Amino acid sequence: MIKILKYSCYDLLRSRWSYVYFAFYLLLGIVLLFLNNDLSKAVITLMNVIIILVPLIGTIFGVMYYYNSKEFTELLLAQPVKRSSIFLGQYLGVALSLSMSLIIGLGVPFIFYGIFRSSAIWDFSLLLITGTFLTLIFTALAFNIALYNENKIKGFGYAILLWLFMAVIYDGIFLMSLIAFEEYPLDTFSLVGTMVNPIDLSRVLILLKLDISALLGYTGALFQKFFGTNFGIVVSSVMLLLWVLVPTLLIKRKAGKKDF
């Protein structure tokens, strides 16, 4: 598995798209820092970018990579290699190279700016951690979609739909139901609703770390109490981990059964 992981990784690192992705983050970081001059403002803007773009790129890249390397995968399948290690290796290869682009691309300008001497270091690391988690989650979901759909067009369609649902439609439904049930106590509901969607969870985690937490008003006090404590952090991390593990296990299961 390590060998396949390494191969996928190198393959991707040599490809143009990784560089474009890396360069994009590098540029973003530099522009934000030197136009803004305010570290915590830059972190907020970055958050907006990360919770929207990272899932999108993870999904599209994952689906694309699977379909592109399909012939090579079939070749590998003819060899005496375990199926799960082929697919998991490929998945991890894609996810890790994407995460590396993200971390290095954003990290370099921030290090030059002096993040280590700034109090925003924790906000920034949280940003990178959630970014990495989102990459892992959405690449795994993308691999699932690709494994379940032989048809490329369909696969891409579903992938885009998945992203659209998680990033936009889910919040719409969430907001609608909040308004529809405004007569009822909504504290627990809104907590659960946020926990279930990894994009929302990441957003709220970052928002609470920034000063905006107090803005959340008396309802915010509840969120602050939940996410601010160790228990809340553990639950959120478990939730994010589940979002990584469940799709990964699904990849393994589907890959084991699938006819090629």
Partner 1 sequence: MNFFRLHNISLIIFLLSSTVYSQVIEVCKSCDISTIKEGILQAEDHDTLLIKKGTYKEYNIDVNKPLTLLGEDFPVIDGELKGEIIKVTADNVTLDGLFIINVGTSYTEDYAAVRVIRSKNFLIQNLVLEKLFFGIYLEKSSDGRVYHNKIIGDAEEEYNSGNGIQLWYSQNIEVDKNIVTHVRDGIYLEFSNFCKITNNISSHNIRYGLHFMFSNDDLYERNTFQNNGAGVAVMFSKKIEMYHNIFKDNWGSASFGVLLKEINDSEIIGNIFESNTIGINIEGSNRINYKNNDFINNGWAIKSRGACYANHFINNNFMYNSFDLAYNSKLNDNKFESNYWSNYTGYDLDKDGVGDVPYRPVKLFSYVVNRTPEAIILLRSLFIDIIDFSEKVSPVFTPDNLLDAKPKMKMIAHD
- Residues contributing to the site for partner 1 (CB under 8 A): 41, 44, 47-48, 51-52, 167-169, 171-172, 174-175, 178-179, 182, 186-187, 189-190, 193-194, 200, 203-204, 207, 211-212, 214-221, 223
Residue 169 Cβ vs partner 1, minimum distance, rounded to whole Å: 8
Q: Cβ 48 to partner 1, closest distance in Å? A: 6
Instruction: Report in angstroms how near the CB of residue 122 gets to partner 1 at its nearest.
Output: 18
Q: Which is nearer to partner 1, 169 or 233 (CB)?
A: 169
Using the CB atoms, write b or e for 171-186: b if 16+ within 10 Å.
beebeeeeeeeeeeee
Q: How far is the CB of 5 from partner 1 (least distance, A)?
A: 32
Nearest to partner 1 of 150, 187 (CB atom): 187
What does the block give as tokens for 152? 């490329």
Q: Which is nearer to partner 1, 125 or 219 (CB)?
A: 219
With beta carbons less than 8 A apart as the criterion, state whether 155 and 168 touch.
Answer: no
Length of the chain, please? 260
CB of 161: closest distance to partner 1 in angstroms?
15
Q: What totals of helices (H) and strands (E) does the chain contain, helices first? A: 12, 0
Q: Are 128 and 51 in contact (CB under 8 A)?
A: no
Query: In this complex, which beta carbon is closest to partner 1, that of residue 73 or of residue 190?
Result: 190
Question: Please, what's the b/e burial string for 233-247 (b: 16 or more CB within 10 A of its CB; e: otherwise)?
Answer: eebbeebbeebbeeb
Residue 141 Cβ vs partner 1, minimum distance, rounded to whole Å: 18
Nearer residue to partner 1 within complex by CB, 26 or 126? 126
The nearer residue to partner 1, 51 or 100, going by C-beta atoms, is 51
Per-residue CA distances from 25 to 29, 224, 229 (Å)? 6, 30, 32
Q: Coil, strand, or helix at residue 149?
A: coil
CA distances in angstroms from 169 to 98, 195, 253, listed in the order given? 25, 16, 29
